[in-house]
Amino acid sequence: MGAEFVMLSLPPILIGVCAALACALPGNFLLLRRQALIGDAISHVVLPGIVVAFLLTGRVAAVPMMLGAGAAALMSVLLIEAVRRLGRIEPGAAMGVVFSAMFAGGVLLLEQSSASGVHLDVQHALYGNLESLIWFDGYGWGALLDASALRELPSELLRMAAVLAIVVLFIALFWRVLVISTFDEGFARTLGLPVRALALALVAMAAMAAVAAFDAVGSIIVIAMFICPPGAARMMTDRMGAQVAWSAGFAALSAVLGYVLAGYGPLWLGYGNAVSAAGMIAVVSGGILALAAVFGPCRGGGVVRAG
């Protein structure tokens, strides 16, 4: 627990925590607005955008790939809306049609290009590569105070932290408006609040978090963090502020515990090799949700409340 931890484990844990928080915070509102599956849709549709960006630039670079992912996410929103309006198709099914088709297009492009095999493969997109985000200059705890070493931190950490800051700022600034429009859209409209713009901004925040997290840690964490921590938090309290706080705690706990269990758990059990950290973080968040669903004080539900 010294230099090795700082170099190998600290950056992935920090990135994991940032990604988990950035997804879980807007997830609270999406959950209450019954848009929980938006994280699922976004993490599927960004694949073609990333692949196209890779094909156009010819290299694995974060900025063009995130631009591509953002463009793909935007396109999917427009497509879903078009399918919904033109065919008068219910939103869930319209979403299913669009995201599965776009994902299939992304996989096809990927297999067609020479991209498969190198860093950009389907597995990477699906599982993420949290373990590979190593801080080569992290020679020990002292490196945290060393400017030249800090500059060599994985760029994912900086990006993820920036995205988290933007998300936190957005939610803090628009807290009251967001809460009102989430719980009672009609009332929010009578107050003259820009309900539609707010809903759009929320989805945009979620998309930004999803795209950045997708790049750093893969799609499983994105989908799990949008839903599991807010879902578990919802069973703990009836108050929105407390729910957001709980969800942040659960998200951070999932990320840390998941990473530690994935990295060190197998060693404790006598295996020599670590398992997927991204997968483990999702599993831990699911475990937390399960505990909250069984023991949470406010798990609600028709049956329990009626008694």
Whole-angstrom Cα Rg for the chain: 20
Write out the two tokens for 104.
């299939």
> Can you tell me whether residue 59 is helix, strand or coil?
coil
Q: Does 297 bind another protein (CB under 8 A)?
A: no
Site string for another protein, 127-146 (x = CB under 8 A): x-------------------
Task: Between 103 and 153, name the residue whose CB sits nearer to another protein.
Answer: 103
The one among 90, 132, 162, 184 contacting another protein by CB under 8 A: 90
Q: Does 281 bind another protein (CB under 8 A)?
A: yes
Site string for another protein, 178-217 (x = CB under 8 A): ----------------------------------------
The one among 7, 8, 89, 168 contacting another protein by CB under 8 A: 89
HSE-up (13 A, CA, CB side) for residue 108: 6
The one among 7, 195, 240, 275 contacting another protein by CB under 8 A: 275
231 within 8 A of 141, measured Cβ to Cβ: no
Q: Does 75 bind another protein (CB under 8 A)?
A: no
33-68 burial code (b ≥16 CB/10 A, e <16):
bebbbbbbbbbbbbbbbbbbbbbeeeeeeeebbbbb
The one among 7, 60, 96, 137 contacting another protein by CB under 8 A: 96
Quick count: other Cβ atoms within 10 Å of Cβ 2?
9
Q: Does 120 bind another protein (CB under 8 A)?
A: no
Q: Does 303 bind another protein (CB under 8 A)?
A: yes
Task: Between 193 and 221, name the residue whose CB sits nearer to another protein.
Answer: 221
CB of 24 to another protein, least distance (A): 12
**According to CB under 8 A, which residues from 144 to 163 bind another protein?**
none
- Kind and range of the H or E run holding 226: helix 219-234
The one among 54, 214, 226, 259 contacting another protein by CB under 8 A: 226
Task: Between 252 and 282, name the residue whose CB sits nearer to another protein.
Answer: 282
Position 27: which residue type? G
211 within 8 A of 224, measured Cβ to Cβ: no
The span from the CA of 149 to the CA of 147, in Å, is 5
Task: Report the candidate in 46, 106, 47 with the shortest Cα–Cα distance to residue 74.
Answer: 46
The one among 93, 144, 172, 267 contacting another protein by CB under 8 A: 93
DSSP letters, 255-276, are HHHHHHHHHHHHHHTT-SS---
The span from the CA of 210 to the CA of 76, in Å, is 14
Interface with another protein (CB under 8 A)? 31, 34-37, 39-40, 44, 83, 86-90, 92-97, 100-101, 103-105, 107-108, 111-112, 122-123, 126-127, 220, 223-224, 226-228, 231, 234-235, 262, 266, 271-276, 278-283, 285-286, 289, 293, 298-304
